[in-house]
Structure 1
């Protein structure tokens, strides 16, 4: 199975989701520390050149691949990836399940502003504290989103490509 966490920038909530998924963060809904947040691989490290790229984060304990992607405002990226995946599955006769999970609904205002200042304007002195504050606000939602994503991946047998909007985390 392949898990692909996606959102606007692909460097904050998606990186946290991948870290939770890969058990690189505590497996609970507790608030993360500043150090835990800032030590997450790719957290606040990707640039505009990384938009639209699948970023590999690792293999989970069930031998599933975990990726992230920043899709900007383009609502067609994930549906296009789904169609491409289905085409490749049919043409090459492989049945690897792919789960796309949208982390955008977990993003609080502080994280949006932090990303704007840090990634957009390159003002880390303002952006990073806001990102940490935002990550602390939403880490419990991200943890639950990841647990739900993994459960859907394990239990949904009728589809090979699944898109989770995750709107219940708003």
Structure 2
């Protein structure tokens, strides 16, 4: 099984999802601290040159790799990747199950604005505090999205699964 979390930039909600998936941050009753959020691997660290790159985050407790990708506004990236994977599976006897999970529905307004200021305009003193506020607002939804992604992956035998996760809007 291969997990690929995806969204517009690949550096905020996807990084948090990978961290939750890999248990690098743990869901609890208390709110994540600013330091915990900013210390998540790749959180607010990717640039324009990283768009479209599949970034490895680690191996989960079941031995499954976890990746992220920033796909910009293209709705075609994930379906194109699915078709490529199905082609490779049919031609080369590659039978690894792959699950794409869209984290975009969890993004709150504060995170969108913060990402624009920090990543787009390079104005971190405005963007980073907004990103932290946004991360605190959406971390419960991201955690639930990750748990749902894992459950669907375990109970579904399709070779490629695409989760849009619109229920988290």
TM range (shorter): over 0.9
Q: How far 1:29 sits from its partner (Å)?
A: 6.3
Partner of 1:59: 59
Partner of 1:43: 43
- 2:70 and 2:59 map into 1 onto residues whose CA distance is 20
- 1:21 and 1:28 map into 2 onto residues whose CA distance is 14
SS of match in other structure, 2:110: helix
- 2:51 and 2:28 map into 1 onto residues whose CA distance is 30
- 2:150 and 2:55 map into 1 onto residues whose CA distance is 19
- 2:81 and 2:35 map into 1 onto residues whose CA distance is 34
1:138-153 equivalences under 5 Å are 138-153=138-153
- 1:74 and 1:31 map into 2 onto residues whose CA distance is 33
| TM-score normalised over the length of structure 2 | 0.98
**Distance 1:30-1:141 versus aligned 2 partners, 3 A rule:** farther
Deviates more, 1:12-21 or 1:27-36: 27-36
Gap runs ≥5 in structure 2: none
Deviations, residues 116-158 of structure 1 (Å, cap 9, x unaligned): 000000000000000000000000000000000000111101x
1:19-168 equivalences under 5 Å are 19-28=19-28, 30-157=30-157, 159-168=158-167
Q: CA RMSD in A?
A: 0.8
- 1:134 and 1:151 map into 2 onto residues whose CA distance is 26
1:5 aligns with 2:18: no
Gap runs ≥5 in structure 1: none
The runs of 4+ residues in structure 1 deviating greater than 6 Å are none
What count of residue pairs does the alignment treat as equivalent?
A: 169
- 1:102 and 1:154 map into 2 onto residues whose CA distance is 17
- 2:161 and 2:23 map into 1 onto residues whose CA distance is 22
- 1:60 and 1:84 map into 2 onto residues whose CA distance is 25
| TM-score normalised over the length of structure 1 | 0.98
Q: How far 1:6 sits from its partner (Å)?
A: 0.2
